[in-house]
């Protein structure tokens, strides 16, 4: 039990990003949570969204009481640079269109206003601990693999569009990060034992490099491959 308690993320280590046009809600959050969280940024829907700030957040709180067209723009921005960041939505009503909006951005939960700030605090704490954003494997050039989301991301949070074979290839190299992975193992694990030529494998490697950076996969002549993982 003691080990489990130590692994819980506390509010003092959580970075929150809030988007709302509701002056009262923003003031309440700022007043009550301003110094409680590690960092809290509160902006209006008309403000420019700082890509670095939102992608580095542990959770995003989105107020749905904004114009639908504006929300669509914000939603696209969030999904392009911070799709992996868990989200909570708040709203003054639960009409069908807003529920759909919450579902479309993959919100963790939906809180109706006026709400007790204790409930928002608890929702943030529960969400961050259940989604486990710390399960990241860092590569160079800002690229990383999120084990919880099972996705590779570019710096800034955009998903890298790998094919099934490309992703499987990279995940195998990550699993064997301290060893050279030979061609036979790649064939057995990635290609499931099916026929595979050395040229097909090289083609996969080249496509991965084109989508990321050349040094992401290191070739060990006559032996196999390793992956470029950042050592912490």
Domain of residue 94, CATH code: 3.40.50.2300
Strand partners, 39: 15
| Residue 1: per-residue pLDDT | 38
* Distance set, CA 69 to CA 39, 50, 76, 87 (Å): 29, 20, 11, 19
**Letter string b/e over residues 39-75, b meaning 16 or more CB atoms within 10 A of that residue's CB:** ebbbbebeeebebeebbbbbbbbbbbbbeeeebeebe
Question: In this structure, are 7 and 118 located in the same domain?
Answer: yes
Three-state secondary-structure class, residue 159: strand
pLDDT at 132: 56
Domain count along the chain: 2
Residue 106: the pLDDT is: 86
Asked if the structure places residue 232 within a domain, the reply is: no
Taking only the tens of pLDDT, the chain with its 232 residues reads: 343 444 567 888 889 999 999 999 999 999 988 888 989 999 999 898 887 778 778 899 999 999 888 898 888 888 777 777 889 999 999 999 999 999 988 899 999 998 889 999 999 999 888 765 556 788 988 898 887 678 899 887 789 999 999 999 999 999 888 889 999 899 999 998 888 898 999 999 999 999 999 999 999 988 999 999 875 4
Q: Where does the chain have alpha helices with state H?
A: 2-6, 23-33, 51-55, 68-81, 96-104, 117-131, 164-175, 183-189, 198-211
Domain boundary among 132, 159, 179: 132
User: Strand, helix or coil at 139?
Assistant: strand
**Within this chain, do residues 114 and 156 fall inside the same structural domain, yes or no?**
no
- Structural domain for 122, as ranges: 2-132
Question: Pairing mode, if any, of strands 59-63 and 136-138?
Answer: unpaired
Q: How far is it, in rounded angstroms, from Cα 39 to Cα 15?
A: 5
* pLDDT in the model for residue 109: 93
pTM of the predicted protein model? 0.59
* Max Cα–Cα distance, the chain, nearest Å: 65
**106 touches 123 (CB < 8 A):** no
Q: Do the Cβ atoms of 74 and 54 come closer than 8 Å? A: no
**pLDDT for 135:** 63
- Same domain assignment for residues 110 and 152: no
Which has the closest alpha carbon to 118: 8, 13, 4, 11?
Answer: 11
């Amino acid at each position: 039990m003691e080990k489990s308690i130590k692994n819980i993320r506390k509010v003092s280590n959580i970075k929150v990003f809030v988007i709302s046009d509701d002056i009262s809600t923003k003031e309440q959050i700022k007043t009550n949570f301003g110094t409680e969280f590690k960092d809290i940024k509160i902006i209006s829907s008309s403000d420019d969204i700082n890509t670095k700030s939102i992608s580095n957040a542990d959770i995003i709180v989105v107020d749905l009481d904004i114009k639908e067209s504006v929300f669509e723009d914000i939603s696209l921005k969030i999904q392009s640079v911070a799709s992996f960041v868990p989200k909570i939505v708040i709203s003054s009503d639960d009409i069908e269109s807003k529920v759909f909006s919450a579902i479309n951005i993959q919100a963790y939960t939906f809180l109706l206003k006026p709400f007790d700030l204790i409930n928002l605090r608890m929702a943030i704490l529960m969400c961050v601990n259940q989604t486990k954003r710390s399960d990241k494997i860092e590569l160079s050039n800002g690229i990383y693999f999120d084990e919880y989301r099972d996705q590779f991301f570019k710096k800034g949070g955009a998903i890298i569009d790998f094919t099934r074979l490309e992703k499987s290839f990279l995940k195998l190299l990550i699993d064997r990060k301290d060893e050279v992975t030979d061609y036979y193992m790649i064939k057995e694990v990635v290609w499931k034992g099916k026929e595979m030529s050395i040229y097909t494998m090289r083609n996969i490697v080249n496509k991965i490099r084109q989508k990321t950076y050349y040094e992401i996969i290191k070739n060990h002549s006559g032996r196999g491959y390793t992956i470029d993982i950042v050592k912490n």
